[in-house]
Structure 1
């Protein structure tokens, strides 16, 4: 164990030799971050833990923050495994698994297109009640009958709070099991990961409650100046009626673990999950074959996202983090989360990265400090051979 102090921040944890700059950057971004968020950072290289750091109020290495949309990476890892097994076929229509989904002109949409956020059923006008938003079965039933907001398959837009419910219903119809059940059985338990899609009640003392964004005066002014349209696609996709901080801090929501946004877990577990997709991990073989990783990381429909206005940022269920972090290889895949979390695998470098924080970051999504941290991680990996050693108390 090694502590490192900078200003009012003490960074706890370890880094392997050659990764000292990552610790320095982690310390620097938290020192400069006026919100004092508290955060965790973990990195595996070729299956070995090379960075394991945490800092801030009420957080240690075993704390369980909410990871919001980084949950989608866990959910769609299950889908990738089922495709790899031959249980699911990307070219089959969603309706062939789930006949009710064919309503309102959605019958031709394929599973590949659904995973690319192309269904057009991003939510409902007026929004789901908070209790319904936590229940994937309720969301799926409602959206099966919903008319899409664009022609299915022809455009794409972030299905922020519902994509996990839609893909989970396909999984349930094909296997009789939920994504949450399959994640527990095939990923979390066998690989010993502290990442939960459905938080057990006994883990409640380790949960780190989310804190709302605390913008600077300049950021607050920018937020106030944004146009607000409750009927916009963004308002529909992000269920504008819901206070996401209060919602995720509700134990019953985390107990259900909605597959889009309901996961809790440590940075170590997020990174470990992606490490397990790349190589042997925890004494078990890699979860994904190289061809499966390549298929799910490959860009789907290109162009502008109808909801977020981002460009070319989805593969199949996963985001393509190299669009934000250009030092990553073209086959990288992962998912960020609204509270600022980021997690991904980069097959080109053997890196698996996990970052969590407890306060919403401005302007939302992956916290801006990830750019500095990822750059430091990649630089360290490029200059340090993969020795397979455990972190040194550097």
Structure 2
């Protein structure tokens, strides 16, 4: 049991976070989890159990947060325009009236392809984009929204590639990952493979077992393919880690993601915030009131990011980030100056952000509210 005692650091005033973290990992022996938080420019929590601090694992849709941080930077630079049609950047794209804003808001209806995608295709964003360019949408574009689970990164990544001549991964590496030394990758180099710790299946039966593969949820998660996607196998495949599909192939740890979000909203390592106040205001405005047609969630998306502040009541309404299927949750809260990342190696039964995030985020937020930045 010693391996599962919460180890690491908490700043003065954040002792309740260690207690909450210990309770979470003690309830699920063998879990393997990491928790890191920043308050303004200061790391205030750095805890781990059953893993080393610098271990890496598959963090799935956490990649969408990194991808859409890049998109926000390109909008901020004037390279991309939110209300310009996607086809202006990508002439082969068949939905000629869909805007970039609508695409980022999961409104295109292009949640998958007829017959599904193979595992080889799902690993390669350019292949996914080519398959989607002429795909008939699964609802009228712009009239509803639904989680584009496996494909949103390929769609937005293709817009980035056409507008800049560079891949989203290259821009992320140059402008975000390398300058801050982040342990979060959209494509894991071979040199870092020794630190990868395989994703583990849930110990409980999956709640997804009864999903109709031809429902919107089934299509979005590629369950209608001849070989439905096994998420554990997917992350643990070297080709997926190497190519880093930006919808589903993020690899990293809590230190990397928390620092990324801290850099997005605050001064860090002697650099100004990555995002200006105007960009934060634009990208933290709710785009999707109402019910997600795929997941059934309410008020799900900002621009590219999930509306994290509407899910966790101890956060400000502008908190933005993204969960990962393994149970991970990461975000920035511009109102409180918090940046947070919780990662784990074992799937939850339901997938998505693990339930323990509720208590962990509450402990972090309440500790920060009682603390003054040094």
* TM-score interval, smaller chain: over 0.9
1:144-163 pair list within 5 angstroms = 144-163=133-152
1:170-319 pair list within 5 angstroms = 170-215=159-204, 220=205, 223=207, 227-240=210-223, 241-319=228-306
Q: Deviations over 1:100-138 (max 9, x none)?
A: 112xxx110000000000000000133200000010000
Q: Deviations over 1:321-357 (max 9, x none)?
A: 1222011111110000000010000011100001100
Paired with 1:228 and 1:185, the residues of 2 have a C-alpha distance of 40
1:1-394 pair list within 5 angstroms = 9-33=4-28, 36-56=30-50, 59-102=51-94, 106-215=95-204, 220=205, 223=207, 227-240=210-223, 241-387=228-374
Contact kept, 8 Å, 2:34 with 2:253, in 1: the verdict is: yes
Q: Deviations over 1:260-285 (max 9, x none)?
A: 11111110110000000111112211
3-state SS in 2 of match to 1:189: helix
Contact kept, 8 Å, 2:3 with 2:49, in 1: the verdict is: no
Structure 1: gaps spanning 5 or more residues: 1-5, 388-394
Worse-superposed segment, 227-236 or 170-179: 227-236
Contact kept, 8 Å, 2:207 with 2:349, in 1: the verdict is: no
3-state SS in 2 of match to 1:255: helix
Paired with 1:262 and 1:364, the residues of 2 have a C-alpha distance of 15
User: What TM-score, normalized to structure 2?
Assistant: 0.97
Contact kept, 8 Å, 1:299 with 1:316, in 2: the verdict is: yes
Paired with 2:270 and 2:2, the residues of 1 have a C-alpha distance of 40
After the TM superposition, which parts of structure 1 deviate over 4 Å for at least 4 consecutive aligned residues? Answer: none
Q: What is the aligned residue count?
A: 370
Paired with 2:68 and 2:3, the residues of 1 have a C-alpha distance of 39
Contact kept, 8 Å, 2:150 with 2:220, in 1: the verdict is: yes
Deviation at residue 227 of structure 1 after TM alignment: 4.0
Distance 1:8 1:262, change over 3 A: closer
Q: Deviations over 1:128-152 (max 9, x none)?
A: 0000001000000000010000111
Deviation at residue 7 of structure 1 after TM alignment: 7.9
Paired with 1:229 and 1:48, the residues of 2 have a C-alpha distance of 46
- CA RMSD in angstroms, aligned pairs only: 1.3
Paired with 1:366 and 1:300, the residues of 2 have a C-alpha distance of 21
Q: Deviations over 1:244-297 (max 9, x none)?
A: 110110111100000111111110110000000111112211100011011111
Contact kept, 8 Å, 1:192 with 1:282, in 2: the verdict is: no
Deviation at residue 8 of structure 1 after TM alignment: 7.1
Residue matched to 1:3: none
Contact kept, 8 Å, 1:44 with 1:51, in 2: the verdict is: yes
Structure 2: gaps spanning 5 or more residues: none
